Amino acid sequence: MEAAVTPAARLDLAGRHIVLGLSGGIACYKAADFTRELVKAGATVQVVMTQAAEAFITPVTLQALSNRAVYTSQWDAREPNAMAHINLTREADAVVIAPASADFIAKLAQGRADDLLSLLCLARPIERCALLVAPAMNREMWAHPATQRNCAQLRLDGAVILGPGSGEQACGETGDGRMLEPAELLAELVAHFQPKALQGKQVLISAGPTFEPIDPVRGLTNRSSGKMGFAIARAAAEAGAAVTLVAGPVPLATPRGVRRIDVGTAQQMFDAVMAAAPAQDVFVATAAVADWRPLALAERKIKKGAGRSVPALELTENPDILAAVARLAQPPYCVGFAAESHDLLEHARDKLARKGVPLIVANIGPATFGQDDNALTLVDAAGQRELPRADKLTLARQLVAEIAARLR
């Protein structure tokens, strides 16, 4: 029996060297957890701190978490050539400034370099060492025209602005300006390194189960967790696509950068998908849509009791979402999913023909519903290909690469 592969076992940043810069701000406390997450993801991390950052967190903490000595001064004597601002970025894949204060963003925008961190940002090999900036400041500072102007200049210069988030701030106010959480920063950095195979494409994805109500408290549904569909949404967004995710009732967090539409029933999912589909380049139907729904909805809870007969449940067929999209005058590239309990290839080939789509992704439903890993079989008119068992995000990235290759 194959061992399950969990997302924690995936080293998304293996082989990457990251320079993590901290400027002054209360969000420095988040940098400790972010450093730990980077190391867990397989990256080597070199921390560089400004003098202001040292007022919020000690270099000792970051050294313990990164397993590397922390640099704080451009005059650091440990470098044989006394050029830490040059040496620190020559092997780096990216410089990430988290937190980036309003003052430090202004320095970057103006090209000022009066400390080690701003020096190395200016001296980095710009063509191969990206600069990613995570703003962290009060909401009024973030909204100020000078800050917005400086961020716009950074984008024009090729930097990537991560966030900011919105919520309660240390000053007691609420609004935009919070630094993204460590997990969000990690996801953004991982996405930065993914190939942009779907850049400029519009991708529509359905995910999760549907819920077909019988009465106000009961309904027909299935065991789909939505994890595969959400993983594909994240992978497509990482690949540069504009992603719309139509999600059945699942408690999963929306992948960053993905537009989400929540629905309950198959009819609601049909309506949402059909409204969006004509503008899409790709439609991936991962949702486990109920084939039938009750013909009539009881207005009150159906009660049981002595002398009461078992109620008869009359069903009617739900609309076929995938087939309807495939029949559009100018359909997107359609990918269907077949979650079967037996005779996988036979049912997948039948679905390929019935739905009129170019690709079916087949799996054994009971073996994957609710799990973090899966194995997939890609079925098309030419044959089939196996994607061996892996965590669902790894499989999603492989599927996205396959779709991108077919679009080309």
The residue among 79 and 229 whose pLDDT is bigger is 229
Whether the link from the prior residue into 99 is cis, omega within 30° of 0, is yes
Dihedrals phi, psi of 295, to nearest 5 degrees: -65, -35
374 has a pLDDT exceeding 70: yes
Res 340: pLDDT: 66
265 has a pLDDT exceeding 90: yes
Res 327: pLDDT: 96
306 has a pLDDT exceeding 70: no
Active site residues: 171
Res 80: pLDDT: 86
pLDDT in tens, 15-48: 999 999 999 999 999 999 999 999 999 999 999 9
8 has a pLDDT exceeding 90: no
Q: pLDDT class for 212, splitting at 50, 70, 90?
A: very high
200 has a pLDDT exceeding 60: yes
Res 370: pLDDT: 67
Rounded-to-integer distance, Cα 373 and Cα 377, Å: 14
Q: pLDDT class for 367, splitting at 50, 70, 90?
A: low
Res 82: pLDDT: 83
User: What percent of the chain lies above the pLDDT cut of 70?
Assistant: 95
Q: pLDDT class for 6, splitting at 50, 70, 90?
A: very low
pLDDT in tens, 313-341: 899 999 999 999 999 999 999 999 987 66
Q: What is the rounded average pLDDT of the residues 223-229?
A: 92
Query: Which residue in this structure is represented by tokens 């950068």?
Result: 257
Q: What is the DSSP letter of 209?
A: B
DSSP 3-state percent helix, strand, coil across the chain (nearest 5):
35, 25, 40
Res 1: pLDDT: 31
357 has a pLDDT exceeding 80: yes
- Give the rounded distance of the alpha carbon of 273 from its chain centre: 21
Level-2 CATH architecture, domain 202-291+314-407: 3-Layer(aba) Sandwich (3.40)
Res 7: pLDDT: 43
Res 125: pLDDT: 96
Q: pLDDT class for 195, splitting at 50, 70, 90?
A: very high
Domain residue limits, the chain: 10-193, 202-291+314-407
pTM exceeds 0.85, yes or no: yes
- Tokens in use for 282? 């790709």
3 has a pLDDT exceeding 80: no
pLDDT in tens, 85-102: 998 999 999 999 999 999
Return the H-helix or E-strand segment holding 225.
Answer: none
Per residue in 134-173, is it b (16+ CB within 10 Å) or e — as a string? bbbbbbebbeeeebeebbebbeeeebbbbbbeeeebeeee
Q: According to CATH, what is the number of the domain 10-193?
A: 3.40.50.1950
Domains 10-193 and 202-291+314-407 share a fold: yes
